[in-house]
Structure 1
């Protein structure tokens, strides 16, 4: 197995446990924390996969692997390959999720799915047989987490507390989108702001064919003191909101700015707001949905 640069802190978290205990959700939480995640990778491929990740240098620092007892030859090679990984420079942790019989039965009932171990039998029989099959794995786990009384948000918080890379904490990603109300409000927006109260450059002949990306349009929009006031109020609002969203472990936030056609006012305001967000320390992407629509 390829040697790993000890100066780069690699972390490998293996997630397993009872069906219905939250393994898929836990793996999604790791992805949100910046982990490169693969589900149901055969244990025999663990060392080779780790070697390939090591070849990427610092680009792949944290890895999450989801494993399932239904993998053929599961126990035959799992512990052997886990031992090989722990002998490397990776910081390896096996997380085992479980829940009570009653909770697992309820979750399967709500999803109307059969139990994967005994799909033709009552769910409780599959739960009990799987629990016996997983006992050795549970005994070898570094962390055992009972999710019986956890909501999805509480599981996410737990994962963040235990596996966040505090030295390389990722700030919440912010997406700015401009749009025209006459083409519809974007359905995937978290926050929507209407700037149709500002004077419309579309009615100025020399500005009509330009867009909010042009300096002439920007000057026209911000000659209005209400535009500057609006930006200042938004800045104060987001200084207040960003920490609250981050406390909720939000990995991204989409802010939409709309005017009538999505070509002039919304674009000019969004470009100014982009600078505000950058000054607040957030990675900002901007997309003009309707800029080139007639």
Structure 2
């Protein structure tokens, strides 16, 4: 990590813009408590040079300074201090300077559900940096509003709600290993509507049009991962056609994600309780989508096992 004294020493040098073609820049932002520090440590373990708490206005300055020592820093990750007003406009000015220099950069935005963020702050027995005299949830709401434009600009949005420390480190390693980022990491998530729609869903499929195995006595105790339930779901009129057409409809969207340099997306498939239909359809969609080029598919059954 870079200390303040080092930063002050570097800023005292002449700052004539220099293009460092060998340097790669990753900007890390996101919600407080969503795992920015864990992501930074994972990148350090992979050989990245990490600077934490840098004001957005100093991004271009930092890159100019590194350019004066060619080869000294090939991969730089900057964790921005995102809690200042005017963040978006200041960051845009810095990124415009970087783009003018021809430097390649990506932005990673870490997010998590409000409930999880509240639990993390309560477990850590510390206030949210923006809550003031209010509640933790008030600080989270204020930060979401502050960062909404920043999130929209990010090439990679990673939801850490279902990731522990090790899971987040693994996701960072998969996205930014030496072989380059994966082209597209697609999470296919089954869920039950009665437990709420996943907040991070990029695509949403409602399969409640398929007859519910819950009302078949011999299928009720089983799940969509059991062959009998899978067969019951997929042979119903319209189910197979739905899967075929949904995969076909997703293909141009996934191609568009790749063109826009977005590497992470979630397809949420919902039924009433998240036990039978959504699980079976998610498994089938994942099987089909995993056959597409440059797509890595991960299956998550969010509500499986809940009563």
By how many angstroms is 1:29 displaced?
1.2
The equivalent position to 2:115 in structure 1, one of 90, 102, 110, is 102
1:62 is aligned to 75
Whole-angstrom CA distance in 2 between matches of 1:84 and 1:13: 15
1:40–1:71 Cα contact (<8 Å) kept: no
Paired residues in the alignment total 165
The equivalent position to 1:84 in structure 2, one of 81, 97, 116, is 97
Structure 2 spans left out of the alignment, 5+ residues:
1-15, 181-307
1:39–1:66 Cα contact (<8 Å) kept: yes
1:120 is aligned to 133
Task: Classify 1:84/1:54 alpha carbon distance in 2 versus 1 (closer, same or farther; 3 Å).
Answer: same
Q: Is 1:21 matched with 2:34?
A: yes
2:27–2:106 Cα contact (<8 Å) kept: yes
Give the match's secondary structure for 2:65.
helix
Q: When the two structures are superposed, what TM-score results if normalisation uses the length of structure 1?
A: 0.53
Q: Is 1:160 matched with 2:161?
A: no
2:28–2:109 Cα contact (<8 Å) kept: yes
2:83–2:143 Cα contact (<8 Å) kept: no
Whole-angstrom CA distance in 1 between matches of 2:100 and 2:47: 24
1:209 is aligned to none
1:37–1:63 Cα contact (<8 Å) kept: yes
By how many angstroms is 1:73 displaced?
4.0
Q: When the two structures are superposed, what TM-score results if normalisation uses the length of structure 2?
A: 0.51
Whole-angstrom CA distance in 1 between matches of 2:177 and 2:103: 16
2:20–2:103 Cα contact (<8 Å) kept: no
By how many angstroms is 1:116 displaced?
0.5
RMSD: 1.7
Whole-angstrom CA distance in 2 between matches of 1:112 and 1:3: 45
Whole-angstrom CA distance in 1 between matches of 2:122 and 2:20: 48
Whole-angstrom CA distance in 1 between matches of 2:83 and 2:146: 10
Structure 1 spans left out of the alignment, 5+ residues:
168-294
Whole-angstrom CA distance in 2 between matches of 1:43 and 1:69: 8
Alignment of 1:81-230 (within 5 A): 81-166=94-179
1:18–1:99 Cα contact (<8 Å) kept: yes
Whole-angstrom CA distance in 2 between matches of 1:133 and 1:73: 9
1:96–1:141 Cα contact (<8 Å) kept: yes
By how many angstroms is 1:58 displaced?
1.2
By how many angstroms is 1:19 displaced?
0.7
